Amino acid sequence: MKYLQPAIKEGKKFLNPVPTRVGTGSVAGVLWKYLTNKAETTPKRLLGPFTTDLLLYQEAPPSGLRITWLGHSSLLIEIDGLRILTDPVFSKRASFSMRIGPKRFYEAPLAISNMPALDAIIISHDHYDHLDKQVIRQLVAIDVPFYCSIGVGQYLKEWGIQKQRITEMNWMDKVTIANRCEITALPARHFSGRSLFNRFETLWSSFAIRTATHNIYYGADSGWYDGFYEIGEAYGPFDLTMLETGAYNEDWADIHMGPDNAVKAHLALKGKLMMPIHWGTFNLALHAWNEPIQRLLKLAGEMNISLFLPKPGEPTVVNIYNSHWWE
């Protein structure tokens, strides 16, 4: 297949599956858009507080598949007796500083200190809204393995995670957890870097997570490209696709999807149920904070797509469900 290949590098930089631009506008042009933007990018009303009923974790979900959305792309996935945490970002800001940068709309509904026992942690890439140094430091004392894209392990080790707990993955690499859950790192169309000077030097990935009875897709961050069709053919159909729908802009069309292309990706992946992620938590774009979900609901209605929309912090059995939490 054309796109289902390990990532390659050009010098120090990893390449996307197709030619990709991080942005199309000038710095001055982008700044002007932000200065003149009138959309409600941050909620005018206080959201939450959202909390998690820890007693629910004492019993396994009858269907074997339950998800607690912790905001943005942070998910606690319970799948056939295993618990997998994705891209945990619980700090007040997704930034290099806790004084400036995108601030959470609501407190994280579940603290690391209250987290049920974990079997794996997935880190898709190194951006601040997916890799939280403060959370990683809290996870040092918890004996759980990390599965991350190539190069991300350097940060985990720097912040205290033991080397033996870290498995770096290239696209198409597979690992098996507890002899019953296979995690496959797959291509995505995005970029990496925690500064302007190290972009593309670590890898970014999406992930297929499969057991004998469930098959789900964690998309993390990606722009649209035809590789979604190949992933759907080779690894689908998926019981659930978790796809980014927020933080989109015409200047970022190559690296973020937004609701329209997320729906297109869901169909290409042969998804049965779609869960929007990467929205409703941080002010990362020019659109209104609740625009992604409003647009997605319209598209889903028109295209007969079933949605899974749990309330933040609410352990929810995966099924057709709309909590309407943002209303």
pLDDT tens across the length of the chain (327 residues): 899 999 999 999 999 999 999 987 766 666 777 778 888 999 999 999 999 999 999 999 999 999 999 999 999 999 999 999 999 999 999 999 999 999 999 999 999 999 999 999 999 999 999 999 999 999 999 999 999 999 999 999 999 999 999 999 999 999 999 999 999 999 999 999 999 899 999 999 999 999 999 999 999 999 999 999 999 999 999 999 999 999 999 999 999 999 999 999 999 999 999 999 999 999 999 999 999 999 999 999 999 999 999 999 999 999 999 999 999
DSSP string, 161-176: --GGGEEEE-TT-EEE
Rounded CA-CA distance 297/305 in Å is 9
* Angle 83-85-87 from CA coordinates, rounded to 5°: 170
User: Which residues have C-beta within 8 Å of that of residue 83, sequence separation ≥ 6?
Assistant: 76, 77, 116, 117, 118, 119, 120
Joined tokens for residue 61: 């979900």
Bridge partners of residue 76, in order along the sequence? 68, 85
Joined tokens for residue 187: 């291509």
Tell the burial category of 244 from Cβ atoms under 10 Å away from its Cβ (0-12, 13-18, 19+).
buried
Joined tokens for residue 252: 């970022």
DSSP SS3 for 288: coil
Q: Tell me which DSSP letter residue 299 carries.
A: H
